[in-house]
């Protein structure tokens, strides 16, 4: 009598067996699985290296069109370099942003203090937003202090900033197949799902990157370099990594081959 009841504990509402979640399972790494993971990561990285130059030209075209639409004075050139086997092309955006003056420092300081006050008054269920705003206020406060005391020692221009961020993102996208090879391909998913998820992450970053840094360029060109530390720290590579984690978590929720067979 007790046996059927205990069996029901392991059945879902459709009657299928409830398998232990992969987070609580010990992953048995097989030699063939490791070889196939490395081979998949290698092939996808190779394909990306062939696409890297066209992606750089695409970013340059997007920057050129949007700079005109946003009426920002700037020029875009494509810096191409020949490697042994692969060609690279990256946009170089010549655009200026001024150092903050006294009025800008005072107005941003007032807004920062107001934002800090709001973060302290938020209710408990908005605690994540409250902490986020406090971090933003802390970073912006350090930038205000720096530009108020020693603005002449700020080492970056808007053009060098954009070049650095685009190079960093290209490096991050290039590393995604290898990262997925170590963290996702080793699980028991079908090959087409592994390739699909990797392609989605890389394509999303290719589309997001020029739009993301166009917003950075607009804020600093219309405002000043005062916002560069905040944009770099909180709205640069950090949202791109968060996007990768979101896609990865979604992919890890997919049923594996064993789960598909039990359905």
The DSSP code for 94 is E
Compute how many other C-beta atoms are within 10 angstroms of the C-beta atom of residue 258: 11
Cα 68 from chain centroid (whole Å) = 26
Q: What is the pLDDT of residues 149-173, one digit of tens each?
A: 999 999 999 999 999 999 999 999 9
Rounded CA-CA distance 144/164 in Å is 23
The DSSP code for 73 is -
In 3D, which of 188, 177, 182, 199 has the Cα closest to residue 255? 188
- pLDDT by residue for the chain (263 residues), tens only, comes to 455 666 666 676 666 777 666 555 666 767 777 888 999 999 999 999 999 999 999 999 999 999 999 999 989 999 888 766 778 889 999 999 999 999 999 999 999 999 999 999 999 899 999 999 999 999 999 999 999 999 999 999 999 999 999 999 999 999 999 999 998 998 888 899 999 999 999 999 999 999 999 999 999 999 999 999 999 999 999 999 999 999 999 998 888 666 555 55
Based on its alpha-carbon atoms, the radius of gyration of the chain, rounded to whole angstroms, reads: 24
Rounded CA-CA distance 150/169 in Å is 30
Compute how many other C-beta atoms are within 10 angstroms of the C-beta atom of residue 125: 8
Residue 144 near residue 18, CB atoms below 8 Å: no
Measure Cα distances from 31 to 24, 56, 147 in Å. 22, 37, 56
pTM here is: 0.84
């Amino acid at each position: 009598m007790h046996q059927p009841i205990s069996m029901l504990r392991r059945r879902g509402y459709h009657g299928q067996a409830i398998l232990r979640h992969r987070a609580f399972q010990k992953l048995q790494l097989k030699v063939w699985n490791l070889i196939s993971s490395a081979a998949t990561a290698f092939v996808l990285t190779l394909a990306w290296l062939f696409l890297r130059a066209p992606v750089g030209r695409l970013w340059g075209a997007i920057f050129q069109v949007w700079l005109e639409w946003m009426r920002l004075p700037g020029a875009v050139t494509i810096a191409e370099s020949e490697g042994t086997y692969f060609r690279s092309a990256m946009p170089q955006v010549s655009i200026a942003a001024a150092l903050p003056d006294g009025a800008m420092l005072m107005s941003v300081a007032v807004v920062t203090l107001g934002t800090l006050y709001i973060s302290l008054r938020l209710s408990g269920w908005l605690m994540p937003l409250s902490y986020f705003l406090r971090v933003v206020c802390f970073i912006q406060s350090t930038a205000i202090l720096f530009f108020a005391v020693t603005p002449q020692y700020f080492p970056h221009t808007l053009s060098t900033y954009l070049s650095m961020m685009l190079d960093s993102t290209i490096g991050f996208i290039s590393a995604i197949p290898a990262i997925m090879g170590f963290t996702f391909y080793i699980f028991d998913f079908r090959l087409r799902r592994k390739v699909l998820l990797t392609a989605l992450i890389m394509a999303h970053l290719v589309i997001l990157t020029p739009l993301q840094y166009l917003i950075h360029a607009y804020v600093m060109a219309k405002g000043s370099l005062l916002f560069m530390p905040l944009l770099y720290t909180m709205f640069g590579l950090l949202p791109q990594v968060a996007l990768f984690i979101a896609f990865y978590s979604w992919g890890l929720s997919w049923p594996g081959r064993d789960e598909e067979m039990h359905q």
